[in-house]
Amino acid sequence: MSISLSPNALVVLERRYLKKDRRGKPTERPEDLFKRVARSIAAADAEFDPKADVEKTEEDFHKLMTSLVFLPNSPTLMNAGRRLGQLAACFVLPIDDSIESIFEALKHTAMIHKSGGGTGFSFSRVRPENDLVSSTQRISTGPISFMTVFDVATETVKQGGTRRGANMGILRVDHPDIEAFIQSKTDLAKLNNFNISVALTSSFMKALTAGKDYDIVNPRNHKVMRQVSARAIFDRIVRAAWQSGEPGIIFLDHINRANPTPELGEIEATNPCGEQPLLPYESCNLGSINLSEMISGGKLNKTKLRQTIRSAVHFLDNVIEINKYPLSEIEAVSKKTRKIGLGVMGFADMLIRLGIPYDSKRAVRQAEQVMTFILREARKASSELAKKRGNFPAYKGSIFDDPKTPHMRNATVTTVAPTGTISIIAGCSSGVEPIFAVAYERRVLDGEALFEMHPLFENLANQNGFYSNELAEQIAETGSIQQIKGIPDKIKRLFVTAHDIAPEWHIRIQAAFQKYTDNAVSKTVNFPHDATPEDIEKVYRLAYETGCKGVTIYRYGSRDRQVLNIGREQAQQAGETGTIPDRPRIVPRVRPVRTRGVTERINTGCGKLYVTINEDDQGICEVFAQMGKTGGCASSQIEAAGRLISLALRSGVKVEAILKQITGIRCPSPIWQNGKMILSCPDGIAQVIRNYTRISSTEMPAMMGACPDCGGSLEHEGGCLVCRSCGFSKCS
């Protein structure tokens, strides 16, 4: 069966999913990948019924994926039928108030990250900083210090992995260290392998509404240490999120009211993107239905959707059985609850096909209708599986322990996850997000820029006679068509992007899906750069009132604005007042008399280039470059580039920001060296700097807004950063 894959999908599959030999060359084609996955997952049928028609199931699963109506989460695509065999994306590990528990969790984290999974933790049980440790008569360093240990370990383990390790760190709002936790990621150099969220309780929200104080409780002895203004803490959360996009928030009581197995304990943490609340040692495997492919004749094809749901639930339940779990504890708990998370992607594309603007009441109704259908049919499919295979072992004591629901195979069946890379493969919009851009620039492997247009917009533009390459280039500058002349208003209304939409509509769509989702809905609420903290506060309150289980926000450009750009004193003032004063003149620091460094030779299309990098006690302070052959225009330009780089470094500009500017510059004579293409002399200088500073292509900070793998634009979606050019994801 032929697979209709876009050029972009093929790039993503080759870079991130296909099996490769030791030289990095793919040893399978996309069709081989889908056969491998289908065969592996279908084999579980025989474990339940020796007479099962495994070949028929394999054919069904293969069609499910190759038609791009459903795709499982990335670990399943990568690892099914391979030696590693770890197929789940989401894990939560317990952390208790002891060194033994903390470092046991650290060991288990490393094992999970090595297998390709992401981890979530609640640090709420760890005693606060400066609290007494009676066994040693010393004082505790607090949860944030231990988060730093986990962050460093993640950085170490993820080197060279297929998927990057990612963590979620959660702290209850009544923990004594909550103020420090809220501020912990306003310094963009810290905890880069963590998303963080504050767990807000209903009692806190009531105190906030009433303008009252609430109790701060020591988790070691459960004694009230002090009372704090709920308003003051909430303002800190809002201000930090306005400044850096973090922390996110989760509504702990909303989550536990929907806990399907309360007798097993309370839920305290989620996976890295927040859509999967889990008990300690639980895991969950996810998959998403492409809603864009469920439209026939201008309406939802319920027959096709129903059959897709039934096959997908069967698929995901099989994954639980054949998964090679990284820990025996995880296998035991995961098989006790057998949680699966069937979600969606392509919702924004579905709305466009239906002629419904994303920011409209019609869209909210459509979201409720389609997710109601998915939840109902997924539970039916799970119930039918239970009749053949048995209920999940923790069924007794669960919310399903009811005569009306005598059979249920899975404790949860629905989750709306971010679908960054699999939505690229499927060629659709991500999760339940609006489209991020109508057109964008994509860089191919040799550094050439191509302009990608949303296919539905391109079709309409051609039908209405206003499509052109110049239009694509113009749209790609901002991604939006709202200010471009010559495009009919009706089409503008339909193709609204994430930044065209008022934040309240993001929440209303999220809440519509959350009503009919067992677990949670991962979504980013996008704000313009000039949004105020008050705007963010309104969204947080609306999310709580509408029953969302958590919120992630991103104010455009907030993470891109480095402290070095405005000066430390000005940054502090901005954090306190919400405004940024006039920028002072930056004076480069004086070059020291003595520096230390190295010289590296690199081949370029112009000849051998010798790059010298020197540093002083404050870090790299200068870069010199010289061609092996002297004289000429190239040599003078290279000298000028070195002087400007040195000036920038001594003026406080981050190395990463410099690399962003000079990486990928192309001249007419690119050349290959050691398996890498040197596109130009500036590109060669960038590679030498990166080698010296050990900033690999996957470690350049995503907060700059450029993909560290290909230089394309990063999208903030579903609580994560994703590049639609190459499939890079900060959370995986």
Q: Write the pLDDT tens digit of every residue in 627-648.
A: 876 556 777 888 888 888 988 8
pLDDT-wise least confident of 158-167, 209-218, 382-391: 158-167
pLDDT-wise least confident of 2-11, 301-310, 332-341, 687-696: 687-696
Decide which of 562 and 600 is more confident: 600
The token pair that represents 101 in the structure block: 């528990």
pLDDT band at 211 (very low <50, low <70, confident <90, very high): very high
Give pLDDT, residue 665: 85
Catalytic positions, please? 271, 273, 275
Give pLDDT, residue 560: 53
Name every residue whose Cβ is closer than 8 Å to that of residue 114 and which is 6 or more positions away in sequence: 157, 161, 326
Name every residue whose Cβ is closer than 8 Å to that of residue 69 and which is 6 or more positions away in sequence: 289, 290, 293, 294, 304, 308
Give pLDDT, residue 715: 78
Evaluate whether 272 touches 250 at the Cβ level (below 8 Å): no
DSSP H or E stretch at residue 534: helix 533-545
- Mapping DSSP to helix (H, G, I), strand (E, B) and coil, where does residue 379 land? helix
pTM, rounded to two decimals: 0.81
What residue type is 157 in one-letter code? V
pLDDT band at 212 (very low <50, low <70, confident <90, very high): very high
pLDDT band at 57 (very low <50, low <70, confident <90, very high): very high
Evaluate whether 294 touches 350 at the Cβ level (below 8 Å): yes
- Mapping DSSP to helix (H, G, I), strand (E, B) and coil, where does residue 706 land? strand
| Residue listed under structure tokens 């909303």 | 254
Q: What percent of the chain has pLDDT over 90?
A: 65
- Residue spans per domain, the chain: 7-87+284-425, 90-270, 437-496, 596-704
Q: What distance in Å separates the CA atoms of residue 68 and residue 120, rounded to the nearest whole number?
A: 30
pLDDT band at 164 (very low <50, low <70, confident <90, very high): low
The CATH number of the structural domain formed by 7-87+284-425 is: 3.20.70.20
Average pLDDT over residues 267-283: 97
Q: What distance in Å separates the CA atoms of residue 29 and residue 36, rounded to the nearest whole number?
A: 11
Evaluate whether 189 touches 182 at the Cβ level (below 8 Å): no
Q: Write the pLDDT tens digit of every residue in 330-388.
A: 999 999 999 999 999 999 999 999 999 999 999 999 999 999 999 999 999 999 999 99
Nearest to 358 by CA among 240, 232, 506: 506
Q: Do domains 7-87+284-425 and 90-270 have the same CATH topology?
A: yes
Q: Give domain 90-270's CATH architecture.
A: Alpha-Beta Barrel (3.20)
pLDDT at 730 over 90: no
pLDDT at 583 over 50: no
* ∠ Cα 156 159 162 (to 5°): 135
pLDDT at 295 over 90: yes
Cβ atoms within 10 Å, residue 160: 7
Average pLDDT over residues 653-660: 83
pLDDT at 584 over 50: no
Decide which of 279 and 556 is more confident: 279
Q: Please give the DSSP secondary-structure letter assigned to residue 37.
A: H
DSSP H or E stretch at residue 601: strand 596-604
